[in-house]
Amino acid sequence: MRKGQKKLSASLEALKKAEAICESNGLKLTKLRKQVLNLIWKKPGYVKAYDLLDELKKVDPSAKPPTVYRTLDFLMENGLIHKIQSVNAFIGCPHPDEHNECYFLICDRCQKIEECCSTKINNVVSSTSKNNNFTPSKVTFEIAGTCQNCLN
Amino acid sequence: MRKGQKKLSASLEALKKAEAICESNGLKLTKLRKQVLNLIWKKPGYVKAYDLLDELKKVDPSAKPPTVYRTLDFLMENGLIHKIQSVNAFIGCPHPDEHNECYFLICDRCQKIEECCSTKINNVVSSTSKNNNFTPSKVTFEIAGTCQNCLN
DNA sequence: AACAATGATGTTATATTATAACATTTATAT
DNA sequence: ATATAAATGTTATAATATAACATCATTGTT
């Protein structure tokens, strides 16, 4: 498989899932939202909001920060993308149809992110929360470092 | 014990530890750095950089953003405070003398943060990293929600 | 003491990230 | 067709953070 191919199909896959999810939830995946979702998937690594804005401006010069942030909000609310807090950036979610507690391996060098799911986190979260009488609502778990590929 | 007392002693405790750490590492805990560390500990919950700047300006009107951010950098580098990525804010570290992988329970309502340490996280981080041939360098684990006190 | 070197702080300017508030357009349901 | 709600457009500004260079303070060396 050539470079980029996997990405391409992942992107198409993501769009299909997004359409299915919106369809079944009565949400509108508008042209703008599709464009933004595609732009996010097109980039190999994570994407910054203002880079997205620059890309968007190429096809719609009237795009402005709220255009992007509102669209990102929609995509996040519906689980189609994730915000990575430690770098203020966004990535597409490869499995928006499954709601897992996920975490992220973020490569400092190539900006690529691996999304991982593990019940272990759920366990840590729920046991700690119980111990502290804490009611959790949002988990942020991000591991920055260097990926295999960049080490070589 | 009256309200505030626990906090007060925690703050003094933190300062003592900071002094000891700097002493033994040949670092200078300058007046400015002490002031900032104290301001961080004085507040019950997490502190935003620009709120800190406002406080600082009360005693030193010439304080500016770099004043604060540089000082925060110093305190972070030396493990005396933590940055909480999901809210862009800072808290004092209660055990700067022990280097544990920690995580945080962040109350959305009162802004108080509980710092927790658990080897389970280390396990998740290292096993996942191994599985993905990933070399981790920085872990961000933050759980937002509501604390016991605010639920009542 | 004079000096160089380093580290800390001061200062100006600007970059980056994000949202509030209100106007207009588009889609949907009755 | 028309009222309603949702989406997008637009202007302005808030909030977070850093670059770059100047000055001052501390320390160690001659």
Domain of residue B48, CATH code: 1.10.10.10
Whether B88 and B59 map to the same domain: the answer is yes
Which of residues A42, A71, A92 is at a domain's end? Answer: A92
Protein-nucleic contacts, chain B 12-71 to strand C, CB < 7 Å: 27-28, 30-33, 60, 62-67, 70-71
| Residue among A124, A135, A145 minimizing CB distance to B120 | A124
Phi, psi of B88 (to 5 degrees): 50, 60
Predicted confidence at residue A99, as pLDDT, reads 76
What domain range includes position B47? 5-92
Residues A13 and A65 in one domain: yes
Domain boundary pick from B65, B92, B119? B92
CATH number of the domain that B145 lies in?
A: 3.30.1490.190
| DSSP states of chain A | --TTHHHHHHHHHHHHHHHHHHHHHT----HHHHHHHHHHHHSSS-B-HHHHHHHHHHH-TT--HHHHHHHHHHHHHTTSEEEETTTTEEEE-S-TTS---EEEEEETTT--EEEEE-HHHHHHHHHHHHHTT-EEEEEEEEEEEE-HHHH-
Cα B51 to Cα A56: distance, rounded to the nearest angstrom: 35
User: What angle do the packed helices B31-42 and B65-77 form, to 10 degrees?
Assistant: 80
Tens-of-pLDDT digits for all 152 residues of chain B? Answer: 565 566 668 889 999 999 999 999 999 999 999 999 999 999 999 999 999 999 999 999 999 999 999 999 999 999 999 999 999 999 999 999 887 789 999 999 999 999 999 888 899 999 999 999 999 999 999 999 999 999 98
In-domain check, residue A97: no
Q: Which tokens hold the place of A117?
A: 């799911």
Cα(A83)–Cα(A91) distance, integer angstroms: 7
Through-space separation of residue A98 CA and nucleotide D9 C1' in angstroms: 34
pLDDT reported for residue A1: 57
Going by C-alpha positions, the residue among A117, A37, A48 that lies closest to residue A80 is A37
Residues A75 and A110 in one domain: no
Domain count, chain B: 2
The span from the CA of A125 to the CA of A119, in Å, is: 10
CA B25 – CA A125 distance, rounded (Å): 35
Q: Are residues A65 and A116 in the same domain?
A: no
The answer to whether residues A10 and A67 belong to one domain is yes
**For testing the chain B interface, which of A83, A139, A140 should be mutated: the one with the most B CBs within 10 Å?**
A140
For A20-66, what is each residue's pLDDT tens digit? 999 999 999 999 999 999 999 999 999 999 999 999 999 999 999 99
Instruction: Count A/B contacts: CB-CB distance under 8 Å.
Output: 121
Q: Chain B neighbours among A 13-32 (CB < 8 Å)? A: none
Q: Kindly state whether residues A26 and A83 are assigned to the same domain.
A: yes
**Residue B42 forms part of a structural domain:** yes
List chain C nucleotides near protein: any atom < 7 Å from a Cβ.
7-14, 16-21, 27-28
